[in-house]
Amino acid sequence: MLRRVVVTGLGAVSPLGGNLKTTWDRLISGHSGIGKVQRCDTTDLPVSIGGEVPMGEEPGQLNVDDYLSGKEQRKVDTFIHFAIAASDQALADSGYKAETEEQQDRSGVMVGSGIGGLPGIYDASITLKERGARRVSPFFIPSTLVNLASGNISIRNQFRGPNHATVTACSAGAHAIGDAARMIAFGDADVMLAGGAESAICPIGIAGFAAARALSTRNDEPEKASRPWDIHRDGFVMGEGSGVMVLEDLEHAKKRGAKIYAEVVGYGLSGDAHHVTSPPDDAHGAYRAMKMARERAGLNPEDIDYINAHGTSTPAGDLGELRAIKRFLDGKTDHVSISSTKSAIGHLLGAAGGIEAVFSVKAIENQIAPPTLNLDEPEPESEGIDLVPHKAKERKITYAMSNSFGFGGTNSSLIFKKFES
Amino acid sequence: MSDIANRVKKIVAEHLSIEEDKVVASANFSEDLGADSLDTVELVMAFEEEFGVDIPDDAAEKILTVQDAVDFLSEQSKAA
């Protein structure tokens, strides 16, 4: 008998803010977190825009000093800073602490990332080339490994249960949440911190994605560059940050009187078996992931109220997903609202599935669908479908689905349900 | 205190994020100053950098305290 799994804590770091509250408030009010890249010199790069986490001491910004000492900060790359900040927020929000040995053994971590410490790898490569092997830091490897987000969160909170990490490109955050929920359902843990973290905005990251022709080159209008389903979209905008949630066995949550946001009722995953970076025209893999999630949840197409789409703003990807969603809903699209929050924060890659799952749960909590910014001229194929253009929309949301698809043709869909005891 | 000792003290304090006055000559990096095995490797690299010397692994293994570091680096600067 599988156990029921609920969401009891949420945390986020994003281009819209250093915490979930700021991020959510700005998302719902239609702000964009996209701008000119500040962190590195983009003079010789074809793309100079991105969604960077606002860092500093102003309210709403991320001040890493609030989470880690200077010495601790130096030993881990930026994606781990983000993961720690988001997981600390989520855990504080849940009110849970692993205090006894038994609690520690029954608590785990699963925070994924697409690339992990790419800026650190870039810097160390330069050090090796210019100054030799003896100058490469002993912290280089543990600061950049993808699973060291989970590893550090585990040490920090004394979570001694499953210590795992997904590395499935832009599906990593969603896979982490889905797989962690299953670990709880199977009884491997009672509590899991799950989500994704990414910080790949650095010269080699931008150059690589630009070379793959994946990025928008709308360098002069950063806030308008991420425009999912708009006919003038020309690629995604790199974002960074982290989204982490506390997943918990329902009975465990009830016993400690936890605030329950939502239940994880559906999870589906699939492979395109098609191409390393492009989906097939009909996005059958995306369709099958959504269908598996819906069937796992025991739902009909008309039960889905809100879909937080993958919607990256790439010409092929957005169209494929739209077609897959139509097929998934048996063409019945009157009841559903679909939006892409990447229009505001860009594509957080391995963190996307994490933060977008957090947004889906917040959408249920607040009964509001976040907007799709910049949707001025929608794809003709989207006619009759509510893509929540420009402004957030208050509406009934009992079931919210979050889609994430990654390079390698790896797809995942999560379905959350408004919690009813 | 010698110039070398001062420079060593500064590096240790900075890398281990501790107050300079805790970095006394007799302090053991791991037992007294909280350095783990990777911190120690990084410290030796920082000494190499600051003083422009190579510290071979067998010598590095013997540098356990602040005084060990000062002694080793003083020897090196005399030799040079």
Residues of B in contact with A71 (CB under 8 A): 15-17
Of A169, A303, A336, give the one whose Cα is nearest residue A236: A169
- Smallest CA–CA separation between A139 and chain B, in Å? 7
Note the pLDDT tens digit of each residue in B32-79. Answer: 999 999 999 999 999 999 999 999 999 999 999 999 999 999 998 887
Tokens at A203, concatenated: 């010269």
Q: Put residue A331 in one of left, alpha, beta given phi > 0 → left and psi -120 to 50 → alpha.
A: left
Q: Is the pLDDT of residue B14 over 70?
A: yes
At A71 the pLDDT is 86
Which residues in A lie closer than 8 A to residue B45 (C-beta atoms)? 134-135, 137-138
In this complex, do B38 and A139 lie within 8 Å of one another by their Cβ atoms? yes
> Helices in A145-280 by DSSP H: which ranges?
148-157, 172-186, 203-211, 222-225, 250-255
Contact across the interface for B16 and A71, Cβ inside 8 Å: yes
Query: Which residues is A112 bridged to in the sheet?
Result: A196
| Rg from Cα positions in chain A | 20
Helix (H) or strand (E) holding A109: strand A107-112
A407 neighbors A170 (Cβ within 8 angstroms) = yes
**pLDDT given at position B80:** 65
Cα A50 off chain centre by: 16
> Is A103 in a helix, a strand, or coil?
helix
Q: Does A202 participate in catalysis according to the annotation?
A: no
What's the pLDDT score for residue B79?
Answer: 75
Closest-CA residue of chain A to B16:
A71
ipTM: 0.84
A123 to chain B nearest CA, in Å? 16
Greatest CA separation for chain A: 63
Q: pLDDT tier at B1 (50, 70, 90 boundaries)?
A: low
Identity of the residue in A69, A70, A138 whose CB atom sits nearest the CB atom of B42 = A138
* CB < 8 Å from B in window 39-98 of A: 69-71, 75
A170 assigned to active site: yes
Is this model's pTM higher than 0.90 or not? yes
Q: Residue B22: pLDDT above 80?
A: yes
Do A71 and B42 count as a contact with CB atoms less than 8 A apart? no
The catalytic residue among A164, A170, A175, A252 is A170
Per-residue pLDDT of chain A (421 residues; tens, 9 = 90+): 899 999 999 999 999 999 999 999 999 999 999 999 999 999 999 999 999 999 999 999 999 999 999 889 999 999 999 999 999 999 999 999 999 999 999 999 999 999 999 999 999 999 999 999 999 999 999 999 999 999 999 999 999 999 999 999 999 999 999 999 999 999 999 999 999 999 999 999 999 999 999 999 999 999 999 999 999 999 999 999 999 999 999 999 999 999 999 999 999 999 999 999 999 989 999 999 999 999 999 999 999 999 999 999 999 999 999 999 999 999 999 999 999 999 999 999 999 999 999 999 999 999 999 999 999 999 999 999 999 999 999 999 999 999 999 999 999 999 999 998 7
Spell out which chain B residues touch chain A, with contact meaning CB-CB distance below 8 angstroms: 15-17, 38, 41-42, 45, 48-49, 54
Closest partner CB to A139 (pick from B42, B49, B54): B42
